[in-house]
Structure 1
Amino acid sequence: MNIEVDKNNIIVSFIALGSNDQCDIYVSPEKIPSNFFDDFKSNYWIYLDNVIVKNPNFVEDVPVKSQSNDEQLANLAQQLATSQILQAKTNAQLIQQNAMLVKQVADLQSEKETTNG
């Protein structure tokens, strides 16, 4: 069997029969663990001192729980509601600022008329 290792000697791929450019390290059958093929996962095996061993730093990926369509729809509805609330608050602030600006313009015009009177 031939294997390909990364810079840390972690086995990233193998080819049981034949060879290719990436899998350029030959491993004799007696140095292959009996459970190598059954347990093969990314980063699970490492090639040390011409022997394949389990990677002591291997960490199992935690599967991401997939959501049902109803859960996804509920999450999207919640996101939309939150977005609408924030937009309403922003609109209220802008209306208030606009009213203050209108008042300031009216005050300035009134002051201008009084001084030019």
Structure 2
Amino acid sequence: MEILLNDKNEILSFALVGGFDNGIQVNEYPEDFIFYFKPKFFIYSDGVIKRNPYYVEEDNIFQEPPINNDIDFSNSTDQEVRTMFTSLQKQVIQANISIAQLAQQNASITKQLTEVSKELETLKKEEK
């Protein structure tokens, strides 16, 4: 896994596949890292990922930036365009992996909920 930090060593993003310019390769991370990840919620200190004791929930009102479809790539070199394309491919792969992980977590939680419901029904029947 590769992480991207700000100047306060807060983790802004992570990549399971691919990486970032100036990213840091990490081999071990907390078991709940992916599940609880939010930008700045974790910090990277002394080679270890830990929860940020100074984390403050930000107001996540997202304002979509204006889209400029009139971008002129004619001055971009072939290599620059290829690099941008490769970066976009990595982002799509990361998004698909995240979606797959969320689907797996959803299935696991659904299974647990079903088991708890069955156990609750069993307990209700035993009380009668």
TM-score (norm 1): 0.47
TM-score (norm 2): 0.43
